[in-house]
Amino acid sequence: MTTIETAQKLGLLPEEFQKIEEILGRNPNFTELSAYSVMWSEHCSYKNSILHLKTLPKNAMPSPFSKDKKVGVLAEAGQENAGLVAISEDLACAFKIESHNHPSALEPYQGAATGVGGINRDIFTMGARPIAQMNTLRFGDLTQDRTKYLLKGVVKGIGDYGNAFGVPTVAGEVYFDDCYNVNPLVNAFSAGIVEIGKTASAIAFGVGNPVFIVGSATGKDGIQGASFASKDITKDSLNDLPAVQVGDPFQEKLLLEASLEIIEKDLIIGMQDMGAAGIICSTAEMSAKGEAGMIINLDKVPLRQKNMQAWEMLLSESQERMLVVAKQGREKEILDIFEKWDLHCVQIGEVTDTKRLLFYHKGELVADLPAESLVLGGGAPIYKREQKEPDYFQKLKNFDINAIPQPQENDFPKIAKFLFSNLNICSRKWIYEQYDSMVGTANLGINRPADAGVVLVKSPKGKATEKALVMAVDCNGKYVQANPEIGAMIAVCESARNVVCAGGEPLAITNNLNFGNPYNPEVYWQFANAVKGIKNACEALGTPVTGGNVSFYNQYTNEKGEKLPVFPTPTIGMLGLLEDLSFQTTLSFQQADDLIYLLGKNQNDISSSEYLYNYIGEKQSPVPYFDLKNEIAVQKIVFDLIRKKMIQSAHDLSDGGLFVALAESSFQYNLGFEVQKPANLKDIRKDAFYFGEAQSRIIVSVKPENKVHFEEFLKENNFEDFLQIGHVTTENFKCDNAIWINDQDAKKLFEETLENYL
């Protein structure tokens, strides 16, 4: 007999308990109740977010970049373990991003490592071989020992797992802000390549088809991890440590090879990785999708611990496992392949047509559940939560740039030094050098760095193609906090801008929506508006949303009992395509005397810039200037300029503004620049021109002999927002005839700041 109290202890609401009794027509036993508690957790059911997620564009739309071309979406959001888009007539890319925030807050090494493992399983469970990874990280105050511990643990966890698994990390982003002190964010992205028509689906059907559990043995780790991810982090969270899983990249590598082999040989009906909620989730989702049922004998499950209860087996989140529904008659071939890779492969049940999941343990029926009732889109609850505009939102609008004194001439060297030694601007070298960025010999950005990762597409037979994937992850949480709708639009557009600057065409996005507690109406207002922003930006860019992840409850209760959510952080992972490798474009200036042009509209704006927020110390200002039409225009013109081979480099302006962007473009070849603030920008303050973060601006360098041709091309295309601001030099960073910082000192600060903190 279970009660409402038991249900509440498991994280269910009283009305949810009643609903379960209605579905079953009886009182659930403890095992059954546990199954609902994880399946109906936010993490698995998206119960508080799905209504908004459904408003996002899922299908192909007209693209502003290539006329008459639409993205071929082969697996829409929610259909499979990851999104799938066509990149040529015979190849497709599976890609997705996922969070592992709460585990990483408690146990940074394993939390981050298993995040990497989980996202890669989502890719290869579809039959795609992962070829590139990215990650996005958020940490608090790096002068605190705990933050250092979290950062070091997370980076080592990502590195140890990804390096051994053998997939390169090709891009990423990291921000620091006090709001992430207790609750860091760890989002991992992976992309893989598969031949069209050779994908696997997460589905079960066909009465009598055998069900196998493959990969690692099942233990007590990660039990109720999905529920743990669906509540606030508090000082009691350490008691949840068993909810954190333990990763083994070696097992995952073997599982990858064996899984791709059984898919390639067409031995299976379907396959799903066991991530959140383990056996119960994979059996329920596969059965529900195929309108089938299963009989499972839990006694057959290989265990790594004795005396496991049925509910523990159903909920265990032990890593590196898959559920495989085989084609009847092909069992021996499957067993042989797993034998070759020295992995467990055990038949634990078979498919039925009852649409029910029957679990037996020690000869007894321990759970009898309708598969459909457990899953999103089936019986799982859907809620509309209350929204309230937070008070701070209107107050930000009172910000007046004129209240911020303009810097004097002798302030500029101080600002320059500050920016290069600012944690949100300096090089992430200390982090990315711990990741294998080159395995696969396909990362084309190692010697030609760009705003996005560029990865050569090889055919599954190992031949190079003419194409590359171009990918970026972006989200400035400060902007989203200042204005969730516009901030989220900026996140989408910045990721697209980065893809475009590297030479790619934006195709589709995956998103990782990191927010606070959805039962807080102000947090929910942020969430709803951010989703609206993503929708608008994706429609303008023609990039459908093919999946992602929602992570709520990223907040902390301090000693005074105040709930402090993190900045709303809807991280965007943009997938783009470079259809011809000759369009690959670097962010680095190529040679002295090349002309530097600034494309896009300039504004008298310093709002939410690193300069204002961290140098001046003014935390209350609106989102930087942003206009979606201008954004599309500047991306489109750079996209076309690259295809006309008229530019030497392209780099977008982001954190730190123009001055930092110019320096970043100079570092690789130890070049310099000489620029002037144009006379016709007299209404724009000097600090706004050099350090402002008004959006939709890109610097490009052009060979002097192409000047006329270049400018004519812009005019022919009715693009008028361009300024020649200067040229590339062999040394020195010169702005309005002044050198604020020696270029070698800037580079040293840029490269060594992060390491010096640690």
Partner 1 sequence: MNFVVVVFPGSNCDDDMVYVLREVLGQNVTKIFHKETQLPQNTDCVIVPGGFSYGDYLRSGAIARFSPVMPAIEAHAKRGGYVWGICNGFQILTEAGLLEGALLKNNSQKYICKNVFLTPQSTQAPLTKSLQKNTYKIPIAHGDGRYYADNDTLKRMEDNAQILFKYCDELGNITPEHNPNGSLLNIAGVCSANHRVFGMMPHPERASDNLGANTDGKDLFLSLLQNFS
Q: Which of 100, 102, 651, 727 is catalytic?
A: 100
Long-range contacts of 644-647, Cβ-Cβ distance < 8 Å, separation of 24 or more: 644/713, 645/582, 646/702, 646/706, 646/709, 646/710, 646/713, 647/585, 647/700, 647/701, 647/702, 647/710
Please count the other Cβ atoms lying within 10 Å of the Cβ belonging to residue 29: 18
Q: Is 758 in the site for partner 1 (CB under 8 A)?
A: no
Least separation in angstroms between residue 665's CB and partner 1 is 17
Between residue 564 and residue 583, which ones bind partner 1 under the rule CB under 8 A?
Answer: 581
Q: Which of 98, 248, 312, 652 binds partner 1 (CB under 8 A)?
A: 248
Least separation in angstroms between residue 88's CB and partner 1 is 17
Q: Give just the sign of the alpha carbon dihedral 538, 541, 545, 551.
A: negative
Least separation in angstroms between residue 638's CB and partner 1 is 21
Q: Is 524 in the site for partner 1 (CB under 8 A)?
A: no
Q: Which of 438, 593, 669, 748 binds partner 1 (CB under 8 A)?
A: 438
Q: Is 389 in the site for partner 1 (CB under 8 A)?
A: no
List strands edge to edge, sheet with 672-675: 649-652, 698-702, 595-599, 722-729, 672-675, 733-735, 738-739
Rounded to the nearest angstrom, the gap between the alpha carbon of residue 173 and the centroid of all alpha carbons in its chain is: 10
* Active site (annotated) includes residue 43: yes
- Residue 481's alpha-carbon distances to 173, 516, 548, 743, in angstroms, are 18, 12, 21, 34
Counting beta carbons within 10 angstroms of the beta carbon of residue 411, is it exposed (0 to 12), middle (13 to 18) or buried (19 or more)?
A: middle
Q: Spell out, one character per residue from 100 to 139, where the chain touches partner 1: x when CB under 8 A holds, - when not.
A: ----------------------------------------
Q: Spell out, one character per residue from 281 to 320, where the chain touches partner 1: x when CB under 8 A holds, - when not.
A: ----------------------------------------
CA 315/CA 275 separation, integer angstroms: 10
What DSSP element (H or E) covers 403?
none
Stretch of 46-54, 140-148, 336-344, 571-579 contacting partner 1, by CB under 8 A: 336-344
CA 551/CA 49 separation, integer angstroms: 10
Q: Is 253 in the site for partner 1 (CB under 8 A)?
A: yes
Q: Which of 282, 421, 424, 437 binds partner 1 (CB under 8 A)?
A: 437
Q: Is 166 in the site for partner 1 (CB under 8 A)?
A: yes
Q: Which of 164, 346, 592, 646 binds partner 1 (CB under 8 A)?
A: 164
What DSSP element (H or E) covers 251?
helix 249-264
The residues, any chain, with a CB within 8 Å of residue 248's CB and separated by 6 or more, are 216, 319, 320
CA 674/CA 738 separation, integer angstroms: 9
Residues 74, 84: contact at Cβ < 8 Å?
A: yes
Residue closer to partner 1 (CB basis): 425 or 455:
455
Please count the other Cβ atoms lying within 10 Å of the Cβ belonging to residue 708: 9
Least separation in angstroms between residue 755's CB and partner 1 is 11
Q: Is 340 in the site for partner 1 (CB under 8 A)?
A: yes
Least separation in angstroms between residue 506's CB and partner 1 is 22
Q: Which of 17, 412, 418, 435 binds partner 1 (CB under 8 A)?
A: 435
Q: Indicate the residue type of 432.
A: Y
Least separation in angstroms between residue 256's CB and partner 1 is 10
Stretch of 306-314, 351-359, 439-447, 476-484 contacting partner 1, by CB under 8 A: 439-447
HEC assignment per residue over 505-555: EEEEEEEEEECCCCCCHHHHHHHHHHHHHHHHHHHHHCCCEEEEEEECCCE
Q: Is 669 in the site for partner 1 (CB under 8 A)?
A: no
* Active site (annotated) includes residue 361: no
Q: Which of 56, 123, 128, 254 binds partner 1 (CB under 8 A)?
A: 254
Q: Which of 317, 436, 605, 687 binds partner 1 (CB under 8 A)?
A: 436
Q: Spell out, one character per residue from 461 to 480, where the chain touches partner 1: x when CB under 8 A holds, - when not.
A: -xxx----------------
Q: Is 458 in the site for partner 1 (CB under 8 A)?
A: yes
Least separation in angstroms between residue 462's CB and partner 1 is 6
Q: What are the φ and ψ backbone dihedral angles of 738, each rounded to 5 degrees?
A: -115, 145
Least separation in angstroms between residue 341's CB and partner 1 is 7
- What 3-state DSSP class applies to 694? coil
Q: Is 250 in the site for partner 1 (CB under 8 A)?
A: yes
Q: Is 160 in the site for partner 1 (CB under 8 A)?
A: yes
Nearest to 503 by CA among 130, 161, 65: 65
The residues, any chain, with a CB within 8 Å of residue 49's CB and separated by 6 or more, are 42, 513, 518, 527, 550, 552
Q: Spell out, one character per residue from 199 to 238, where the chain touches partner 1: x when CB under 8 A holds, - when not.
A: ----------------------------------------
CA 453/CA 588 separation, integer angstroms: 14
Q: Is 358 in the site for partner 1 (CB under 8 A)?
A: no
Counting beta carbons within 10 angstroms of the beta carbon of residue 258, is it exposed (0 to 12), middle (13 to 18) or buried (19 or more)?
A: buried
Residues 428, 139: contact at Cβ < 8 Å?
A: no
Q: Which of 439, 564, 592, 739 binds partner 1 (CB under 8 A)?
A: 439
Residue closer to partner 1 (CB basis): 98 or 320:
320
Q: Would you please indicate which residues are annotated as catalytic (active-site) residues?
A: 43, 100
Residues in the site for partner 1, rule: CB under 8 A?
156, 159-160, 163-166, 248-251, 253-254, 340-342, 433-441, 443-444, 446-448, 456, 458, 462-464, 581
